[in-house]
């Protein structure tokens, strides 16, 4: 199928608010023209160039101190014509977008939703998901992510059965045998994460930068709060990169006062010395296509406002005897400690978000879903605020928390305040490094102001042909995991009309029985 026809077919299967797709241009998808070492593209060391002793012949790939060059990537993503920029330079990832971006609260329920593969044998309603007789069918015929099926791999909540009466999806606790004990020692998933969409599907214009970043040593390292939010359950979160806010970045909580239909909104900065916070950019299948989301996890030092586990279901039954002091009631409006020294209860808004004054004009809704659970058929009022693995009773509190999109991450997992990182002996790998120099006496004053007064330079000295420095330690040079060549020719990217989240067109529903 040619690209033009493919674009027409895809356009017919999505709603008008998401229909203005364009084919990804091979150059635009990577602003470095596919060359992460573009900055040396104009250099070539010839055989008669004496620098060949340091750099070799041809295009250089290292510094004079033998430290390898590192790849550079530039990318961007957007929703609602609002752009975020991601860069990778010297193994430092930065993400800078708009300030005070609204977040919604969702909470993982300790399960994984597995979808029936196309053409596979499914389970009958009421099947025992823990029985030995069902394990082969579950292992072979259901999956949390079906990349080859794209949008059609997702099934709406009201499409529980397929046309022959088999289960289109099943929900498995993370303790299920399918996961082979991977999460047997996982702490209770008891914290929400506050999230919002950063990209359109497939995020083509940031694909190279993000794929590279997710492959580095510092990626997919989840902190203690993130684990309690379930961000390390990779059946749900396919890639995770923990972020640090830059110095002037903040999270903000709304402590509004309601006056009938009018709300006096007021956001104040959160004190992260008392309300702990972790930030991430995550990749997660959404409608069975990969999207990028920004996610924050919070927890107070002095109370359990944010904590909750539903006291029912297979996940609770699996952990209730192992966990201590599980909090089994939801705090509707959790408190946050503020930099002002006060506490504030999070006040959610009934609108979609403060940066969305008129989504209704293009048929994308505009109200807050006001409950957790599968996004489903939003803007139909039955839709939830997130994913099928979310608790319905943990409500989104839309835009009660705002976050400044001003983040960075060290992709090699090592901070720059390490006294041994980036030292010049890293390239040669020895404590002793001998420097070859042009010998002679250096530093003798010749300015009459000094010579006529007989002033001598105390630092003047004879420098021999070789000078040896002895370093305290040997630290490996900063390195990287290479990014494979990506075939971006088939990726469809949304235009400026993109919404934060897709709503699949009803024409995709025909093969299913509601």
The percentage of residues in the chain with a pLDDT greater than 90, rounded to a whole number, is 76
pLDDT, average across residues 431-439: 95
288 has a pLDDT exceeding 50: yes
pLDDT, one tens digit per residue, over 349-372 is 999 999 999 988 888 889 999 999
- Alpha carbon distance 90, 216 (integer Å): 12
In angstroms, the Cα distances linking 48 to 53, 56, 57, 66 are: 10, 11, 9, 20
Parallel, antiparallel, or unpaired for β 466-470 and 432-436? Answer: antiparallel
Return the HEC string of 342-370.
CEEECCCCCECCCCCCCHHHHCCCCECCC
Answer yes or no: pTM beyond 0.75.
Answer: yes
- Alpha carbon distance 99, 78 (integer Å): 14
pLDDT, average across residues 76-89: 92
Q: Is 302 exposed, middle or buried (0-12, 13-18, 19+ CB in 10 A)?
A: exposed
Do 305 and 335 meet the contact criterion of CB atoms below 8 Å apart?
A: yes
Do 209 and 87 meet the contact criterion of CB atoms below 8 Å apart?
A: yes
pLDDT, one tens digit per residue, over 472-482 is 999 899 999 98
Residues, the chain: 514
Provide the pLDDT confidence category of residue 320 given band limits of 50, 70 and 90. very high
Provide the pLDDT confidence category of residue 507 given band limits of 50, 70 and 90. very low
- Which among 309, 308, 327 has a CA at the least distance from the CA of 318? 309
Residues whose CB is less than 8 angstroms from the CB of residue 337 and which lie 6 or more positions away in sequence, other chains included: 270, 271, 273, 274, 275, 300, 343
- Alpha carbon distance 116, 328 (integer Å): 32
Output the pLDDT for position 23. 43
- Alpha carbon distance 226, 198 (integer Å): 19
């Amino acid at each position: 199928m040619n690209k033009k026809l493919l674009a027409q077919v895809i356009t017919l299967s999505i709603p008008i608010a998401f229909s203005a797709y364009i084919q990804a241009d091979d150059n635009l998808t990577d602003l470095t023209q596919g060359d992460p070492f573009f900055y040396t593209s104009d250099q070539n060391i010839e055989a008669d160039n004496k620098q060949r002793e340091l750099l070799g012949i041809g295009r250089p790939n290292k510094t004079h101190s033998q430290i390898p060059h590192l790849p550079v990537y530039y990318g961007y993503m957007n929703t609602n014509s609002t752009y975020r920029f991601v860069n990778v330079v010297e193994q430092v990832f930065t993400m800078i977008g708009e300030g005070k971006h609204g977040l919604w609260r969702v909470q993982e329920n300790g399960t994984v939703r597995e979808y029936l593969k196309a053409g596979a044998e499914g389970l009958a309603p009421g099947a025992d998901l823990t029985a030995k007789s069902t394990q082969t069918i579950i292992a072979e015929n259901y999956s949390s992510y079906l990349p080859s099926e794209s949008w059609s791999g997702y099934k709406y909540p009201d499409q529980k059965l397929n046309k022959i009466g088999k289960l289109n999806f099943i929900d498995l606790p993370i303790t299920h045998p399918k996961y082979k004990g991977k999460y047997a020692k996982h702490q209770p998933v008891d914290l929400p994460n506050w999230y919002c969409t950063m990209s359109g599907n497939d995020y083509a214009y940031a694909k190279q930068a993000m794929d590279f970043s997710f492959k580095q040593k510092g990626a997919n390292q989840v902190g203690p709060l993130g684990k309690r939010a379930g961000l390390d359950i990779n059946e749900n979160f396919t890639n995770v990169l923990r972020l640090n806010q830059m110095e002037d970045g903040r999270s903000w909580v709304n402590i509004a006062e309601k006056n009938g239909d009018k709300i006096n909104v007021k956001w104040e900065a959160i004190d992260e010395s008392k309300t702990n916070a972790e930030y991430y950019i995550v990749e997660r299948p959404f409608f069975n296509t990969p999207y990028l989301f920004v996610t924050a996890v919070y927890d107070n030092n002095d109370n359990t406002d944010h904590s909750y586990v539903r006291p029912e279901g297979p996940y609770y039954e699996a952990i209730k005897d192992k966990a201590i002091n599980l909090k089994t009631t939801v705090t509707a409006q959790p408190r946050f400690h503020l930099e002002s020294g006060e506490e504030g209860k999070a006040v959610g808004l009934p609108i979609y978000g403060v940066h969305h004054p008129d989504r209704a004009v293009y048929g994308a809704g505009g109200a807050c879903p006001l409950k957790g659970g599968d996004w489903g058929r939003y803007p139909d009022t039955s839709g939830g605020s997130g994913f099928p693995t979310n608790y319905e009773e943990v409500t989104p509190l839309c835009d009660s928390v705002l976050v400044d999109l001003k983040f960075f991450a060290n992709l090699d997992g090592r901070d720059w305040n390490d006294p041994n990182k980036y030292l010049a002996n890293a390239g040669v790998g020895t404590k002793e490094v001998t420097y070859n120099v042009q010998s002679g006496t250096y530093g003798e004053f010749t300015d009459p102001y000094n010579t006529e007064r007989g002033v001598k330079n105390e630092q003047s000295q004879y420098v021999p042909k070789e000078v040896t420095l002895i370093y305290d330690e040997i630290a490996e040079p900063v390195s990287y995991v290479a990014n494979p060549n990506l075939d971006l020719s088939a990726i469809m990217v949304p235009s400026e009309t993109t919404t934060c989240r897709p709503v699949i067109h009803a024409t995709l529903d025909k093969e299913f029985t509601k």
